[in-house]
Amino acid sequence: MSDNGELLVFVEQREGVINPVSYELLGKGRELADKKRCVLAAVLLGNGVESHARELIFHGAERVYLFEHPMFNDCDLLNYKHNMVRLVRDVQPDVFLLGATYWGRSLGSRVAAALGTGITADCTGLDVDKHGNLVQIRPAFSGNVLAHIKTRTRPQMATVRYKVMPRAARDTNRKGEIIRKAAEIVPSWLSFVRNKKSADVNLADAEILVSGGSGLKKADDYSLLSKLADVLGAALGSSRPPVDNGWIGREHQVGFSGTTVNPKVYIACGISGSPQHLAGMRSSETIIAVNTDPSAPIFRIADYGIIGDLYEVIPKLINKIKENRYEHG
């Protein structure tokens, strides 16, 4: 088994909370490791995070490399990089995956450059070919095409987009080993201050999303969509045009250059469905679309579509939802 190398997953935590993309990496990693017949390993840097290391085993890791030091409480980029590079040189994994998060992208790029190996950004699909090589699939050119990429150096590195891979199942019967590694601390050039943002928008984890697009006529019309969102307890999303018009903040943008979402219900109001937008929401469980143009691409992926004017449909919809709630509530 071990001669097939390891598939290593970077587990991102901050102040003791694991980033959920890490469990998705373990889910996909388990599947790939079974196919490659290799060991699934995880690396966790933190401070007082041993209980998390056991969780990683329950989620499919056979081996967890654990680095503990107060410097690792936050993602101290240069110290993380330094220790990751040491680990990779030591265990020589065949594949090394990170989440395509803010830190994962920065860290992955630096580790790859330090090792002189290839890295593929923001993958939405991963597979193993018949020789055991990693197949990295990512949207290219605004999501219009999917590029399939292979890497000739080792480790084969990739960052993986949040919310596209299945989360690993938890099984407390799983066994694995926790390998403690000594941290080596280098000068940390960066210091930083954090502030909570006033407007909390968390599209990626929203269960219900109401999104507006170029069918909206002016900035104020978002208030109509807000009403629908309020009735449903939904988050407010947007395609690109309203964001570019400055009608709604960029943090609301769903799509290739915004956030990828997969809510239970996605309600697209006046969104025609550019490939860029569809790339970020097509995996939603149920898609409801309202648009005046019968040929709008959004209708091809919609479960329920109403060809009509959102200014007429949405107020009616709000009333009907309220009525329905009243009857059944």
Exactly one of 35, 37, 180, 316 binds another protein (CB under 8 A); that residue is: 316
Which of residues 170 and 264 has its CB atom nearest to another protein in the complex? 264
- Examine residue 140 and tell whether it contacts another protein (CB under 8 A): yes
Q: DSSP per residue over 239-305, as a string?
A: -HHHHHTTSS-GGGBBSTTSB----SEEEEES----HHHHHHHTT-SEEEEEES-TT-GGGGS-SEE
Q: What angle do CA 76, 80, 86 make, to 5 degrees?
A: 155
Q: Return the residue matching tokens 């097509």.
A: 282
Residues in 48-77 that interact with another protein by CB under 8 A? 77
Q: Which two tokens stand for residue 250?
A: 């960029």
Which of residues 54 and 117 has its CB atom nearest to another protein in the complex? 117
- Examine residue 329 and tell whether it contacts another protein (CB under 8 A): yes
Residues in 82-111 that interact with another protein by CB under 8 A? 101-103, 105-106, 108-110
Amino acid at 207: E
- Examine residue 295 and tell whether it contacts another protein (CB under 8 A): no
Which of residues 125 and 178 has its CB atom nearest to another protein in the complex? 125
Size of the site for another protein (CB under 8 A): 86
Which of residues 142 and 171 has its CB atom nearest to another protein in the complex? 142
Which of residues 14 and 174 has its CB atom nearest to another protein in the complex? 14
Residues in 225-264 that interact with another protein by CB under 8 A? 232-233, 250-251, 256-257, 264
- Examine residue 37 and tell whether it contacts another protein (CB under 8 A): no
Q: Minimal distance in Å, beta carbon 127 to another protein?
A: 11
d(CA 28, CA 273): 29
Residues in 181-220 that interact with another protein by CB under 8 A? 189-197, 200, 202, 207-208
Exactly one of 4, 92, 142, 245 binds another protein (CB under 8 A); that residue is: 142
Q: Minimal distance in Å, beta carbon 252 to another protein?
A: 13
Length of the chain: 329
Residues in 274-293 that interact with another protein by CB under 8 A? 285-288, 290
| Helix 77-91 and helix 102-115, axial crossing angle in degrees, nearest 10 | 50
The window from 34-42, 55-63, 143-151, 166-174 that contacts another protein (CB under 8 A) reads 143-151
Q: What angle do CA 91, 97, 99 make, to 5 degrees?
A: 140
- Examine residue 161 and tell whether it contacts another protein (CB under 8 A): no
- Pairing verdict, β 6-11 and 95-99: parallel
Interacting residues of 299 by C-beta distance below 8 A, sequence separation 6+: 273, 289, 291, 305, 307
CB-CB contact of 106 with 159 (8 Å) = no
Q: Minimal distance in Å, beta carbon 76 to another protein?
A: 11
d(CA 287, CA 156): 36
Which of residues 69 and 282 has its CB atom nearest to another protein in the complex? 282
